[in-house]
Structure 1
């Protein structure tokens, strides 16, 4: 790499930073500004002083082997298996059936449309384009969904579809590309294509599961060594991807070339890491790791979208030749997306085990389908010299597909991305739930009360004059009265809604306390995940205004529960000890909530939870749960006193060890002891020394 290339990379990074700031100021989606900015870099590079800007080129290898695993891991790491399980029919219909419908519709309708324009484009070319452009990009859409308040389930369905259809699209892309390279030989080619497609999807999934399991165990073994843990997460994405590619090149069974989808393998291994491996990490690593991967994904996406603009601006195919095919394909792709959504969701809605997807959600899924990095990567992987016997144009197949692909991407980014917010509002998808509406008003009232309290402090400390104090207080009080009146006018059944808000708050309180208990080493991974699962499920049920569950044994005995147990850490605790520890954890969480509820009337939160009946109802629930848990603990102690005593002794010893370590760190942090003393004391404690 030359100096110009290095200078180009860092200039593009600086350029993306400026684009990001502009996006925040203008509220135009970041990716939209990136591709526009990338297009402008080409004429700027004609200036001699800026000629280095285009020196850095995205090669297919760099995109495929470096950037793509980063983008897959960052997107898949935070998706929960439980959410996939609950929406598996909808996600699989969209990611597989919907994608196949879209691909073949674009292939056949696209060829017909090109003939209307006077272009004799072979069917294989339009099918290859169909596979490329049917893959949706979750990055931009998900941020917009969250910004404009799309429902959580809709966001999860779209995220699941986007992640899995990338792998499906890439598998179909490889099948069509192989046919174009080696020819079509009737039934044999069809069967070979189906076999390759199945091995890529199934084989890639199984291999990803294995790699995720292996790296989760490796993280468990190096727990406490933060840099090793972070390095392993970096390795799992790229190592899985590269190994899947290597196996696909070398593996032959009974004369059949076995291919694995590296995208599916990396996707599955990333999901495994996000659902199982993350709980094996040290306490401080998880938060740092999310920031680490978020930055890497931001960097990769920024470079891909900027260079997408550069690629489009430097196409060798003349714009006056490409413009009509691009416009026609934009229309065909939009129709294909709509047909694939309504058909696949229509079939999914026939399944009674999942909640139906409403029509307005389907409209948004149809419109909110942006294309991005994965489509560009597939285009770059097309050989430059790819041709067909009846291809008689001056431009190559790759140049033609690149033009219509990037043109379609531009349309989705510039038109669809900038209008998603309006579509969400028009379809009334952002309508607040009852507890959200109540929370909106009460939060604003709480803010105005807090502002008044802060204003009073400023006056008492002589930071503002009496006149300023009176003006600000009157202003805040007027706003407070107004929002309280709006709350009374627009909310129905306020006591029930406040009760649901309070339940959500207490469940969040328990999650926070549970994480702290786990950090202190009082419970093992199994108990932590079981409690977390219950709390998350209960939260979702309250948000949907459904009754809370007493237990989740049915769910835990499902296939997902078996997978969780398979990936969980080995434990020296007996079943009795683990059950007692589970009850004890429940008791601590419930006690935390009861203590908090007792203090609400004397805390600022009384402004939000101002209904005594709602507070009493929630207190009764937790008091009942406390009595029940105390009885369950007593039964376990009565039946297995020695086992429980032994477990309590081990637990206390571990907890005291953590307390000792935390105390030493605090002394060092506050400079009560020097680094020299810290290391000396740490060594003595680690060695069990009592040296004075």
Structure 2
């Protein structure tokens, strides 16, 4: 495609994405579903046929999406929900892949390898589609964390399994021990690569510690995201896992300890825009790539595959999460319903379908089945999920909760401004007299918010005329405090300050307190 034509196509796609954003807000429909439908409609408007490129998605778009999700992940909340996340993103993917594979093998008569490839591809859940709905419809924060964590690690596990299946298709042999060994090497090696590059860029002597220029920080994070993926792939491990690990380190250490508030805001705003732009193009291209004639011809196979995905999700969600009550807080049934209906397919599934080798028998049929299933999922489940969540009445936003959050916002903004003033004083930008005057003004706001919040939190629970959702909000704060205590104890063991016996006893008590709190 010539440069002039490429620019024309980009202009059309940007205008369409802007129009869809405005229209979806007006119609209160999911943005990603609107993009796919718009992509189906504008195919004839483009000067030349374009479509998805698996290499572009896997090497450029995927690292951007994974890194953005990782740096915005609250690791303290992730630790508190790691058990259900591990079940859904690990065994859940294996079970879902197995169910879909069996249905396609005996329902469509596919060979085992093609059926297994499609099973692994469609066991993946699209992060963007579900989180986009959660931004429009209020859900409990713990549920949101489980969904974000599951889809993040679900992507990783799907990529690793897909590569294993491709390796089996090439070599023609498979052993359970060999497969587990390859899986361990891929994941462990990827974690080491991510840790190394993450700490090199954010450690006390890393590059981020030497700069506080937001534009340079942006360039560094882009280089880390794309470079980590390429290095991981070059070393024969999963680049996706490495990017997630590096992003978690960047979000936990770099953004919290090593840059100013203004630089952090600029950096996060850039990655939000990058993620939004990448997703807009991906979902538009999904709609453009789907051929309605081919979809109609393969509709029976697509419907069977879509049904298989739902059955697989029922087995993996309801079958696995019933086990959580034995070692963690149980997941409420209404949450499990959301996890089931939120099993939306997306861009990674289509990219993996396009990357199926030409040597695989029936490759074109497999791609058509995956594309059709993704379209049904994005439109059908994407449009119904907001309505479904509202019908479940998962969260209530009362006047009491609004009062709490307004005070929290006042406290957080005032303290953030004080932190920035401290940074300006240390760097010599602000005279001490001006600093003290401005800081004292913010301190008045801090003191007022702290006093009001203290009065609210000191009331007896029976004296509070609050809903279950409001009590849950208070428990969410208590949970963060308990998790902070656990983090301090684990750090004390690592530094050999306290004996392991004392710490274990204290950790057990903290876990018991965590289990008594309401789900948030």
Asked if 2 retains the 8 angstrom alpha-carbon contact of 1:219 and 1:277, the reply is: no
Q: CA deviation at 1:238?
A: 0.5
How far 1:402 moved relative to its partner? Answer: 1.5
Counterparts of residues 183-202 of structure 1 (less than 5 Å): 183-184=172-173, 186-187=174-175, 190-202=176-188
Write the mapping of 1:458-607 to structure 2, written as runs, cut at 5 A.
501=403, 507-521=408-422, 543-544=474-475, 554-559=485-490
Q: Which residue of 1 aligns with 2:18?
A: 17
* Counterpart among 304, 324, 331 of residue 300 in structure 2: 324
TM (norm. structure 2) is 0.80
Question: Which residue does the alignment assign to 1:346?
Answer: 322
Which residue pairs with 2:433 in the alignment? none
Which protein has greater RCO, CA pairs closer than 8 Å, 6+ apart? 2
Distance 1:169 1:549 in 2: 31
CA distance in 1 between counterparts of 2:47 and 2:484 reads: 65
What is the alpha-carbon distance in structure 1 between the residues aligned to residue 476 and residue 11 of structure 2? Answer: 51
Q: Indicate the residue corresponding to 2:233 in structure 1.
A: 245
Q: What secondary structure, in the 3-state scheme, does the structure 2 residue paired with 1:51 have?
A: coil
C-alpha spacing 1:235/1:355, structure 2 compared with 1 (3 Å)? same
Which residue of 2 is the match for residue 402 of structure 1? Answer: 367
Q: Residues of 1 paired with 2:481 and 2:489: CA distance?
A: 17
Q: d(CA) in 2 for partners of 1:545 and 1:80?
A: 13
Residue 502 of structure 2 corresponds to which residue in structure 1?
Answer: none
Q: 1:402 to 1:278 in 2, by over 3 A?
A: same
Distance in structure 2 (CA, Å) of the matches to 1:341 and 1:18? 36
Report the TM-score, using the length of structure 1 for normalisation.
0.61
Aligned to 2:352: 378
Indicate conservation of the 8 Å contact 1:555/1:561, yes or no: no
Give the structure 2 partner of residue 490 of structure 1: none
- Residue 306 of structure 2 is aligned to residue 334 of structure 1: no
Distance 2:471 2:288 in 1: 44
The 8 Å contact of residues 128 and 176 in structure 1, kept in 2 or not, is answered as: yes
CA deviation string 1:588-625 (max 9, x = no partner): xxxxxxxxxxxxxxxxxxxxxxxxxxxxxxxxxxxxxx
Matched, 1:4 2:5: yes
Indicate conservation of the 8 Å contact 1:76/1:271, yes or no.
Answer: yes
SS state at 2:42 partner: helix
Structure 1's 401 and 540: CA in aligned 2 closer, same or farther, altered over 3 A?
A: farther
Residue 261, structure 1, aligned to residue 238, structure 2: yes
C-alpha distance in structure 2 between counterparts of 1:549 and 1:414, whole Å: 37
Give the conservation status (yes or no) of the 8 Å contact 2:31–2:132: no
Q: 1:297 aligns with which of 275, 282, 290?
A: 275
Distance 1:67 1:548, change over 3 A: closer
Partners of 2:52 and 2:289 within 8 A in 1: no
Which secondary structure does the structure 2 equivalent of 1:329 belong to?
Answer: helix
Unaligned runs of 5+ residues in structure 2 are 427-452, 458-469, 496-520
1:196-211 equivalences under 5 Å are 196-211=182-197
Gaps of 5+ in 1: 115-119, 249-259, 389-395, 444-500, 525-534, 566-692
Q: Does structure 1 conserve the Cα–Cα contact (< 8 Å) formed by 2:29 and 2:383?
A: yes
The corresponding residue for 2:224 is 236
Comparing 17-26 and 265-274, the one that deviates more: 17-26
After TM superposition, give the deviation of residue 507 of structure 1 in Å: 4.8
Q: Out of 379, 382, 385, which is 1:420 matched to?
A: 385
Secondary structure of 2:323's aligned partner: helix
Which residue is equivalent to 1:142? 131
1:278 maps to: 255
1:51 to 47, 52, 58: 47
Task: Tell me the distance in 1 between the aligned counterparts of 2:241 and 2:310.
Answer: 26
1:86 shift after superposition: 0.6
1:28 matched to 2:29? The reply is yes
Q: What is the CA–CA distance in structure 1 between the aligned matches of 2:386 and 2:63, rounded to whole Å?
A: 30
Structure 1 233/147 Cα, relative in aligned 2: closer, same or farther at 3 Å? same
How far, CA to CA, are the matches of 1:327 and 1:409 in structure 2? 11
CA distance in 2, matches of 1:212, 1:551: 27
* Residue in 2 that maps onto 1:225: 213
- Tell me how far 1:370 sits from its aligned partner: 1.0
CA contact (8 A) 1:209 1:272 kept: yes
Aligned residues: 449
In structure 2, the residue matched to 1:311 is 289
Which residue in the other structure is 1:367 paired with? 341
CA contact 1:208–1:268 (8 Å) conserved in 2? yes
CA distance in 2, matches of 1:549, 1:133: 35
Q: 1:144 to 1:542 in 2, by over 3 A?
A: closer
CA deviations on 1:141-197 (whole Å, 9 max, x unpaired) are 11212322111110110000000010001110111111112212x53xx33322221
- Aligned-partner Cα distance in 2 for 1:310–1:561: 55
Measure, in 1, the Cα distance between the counterparts of 2:245 and 2:481.
32
Compared CA separation, residues 14 and 425, structure 1 to 2 (3 A): closer
How has the CA–CA distance of structure 1 residues 562 and 137 changed in structure 2, closer, same or farther, with 3 Å as cutoff?
Answer: farther
CA root-mean-square deviation: 2.8
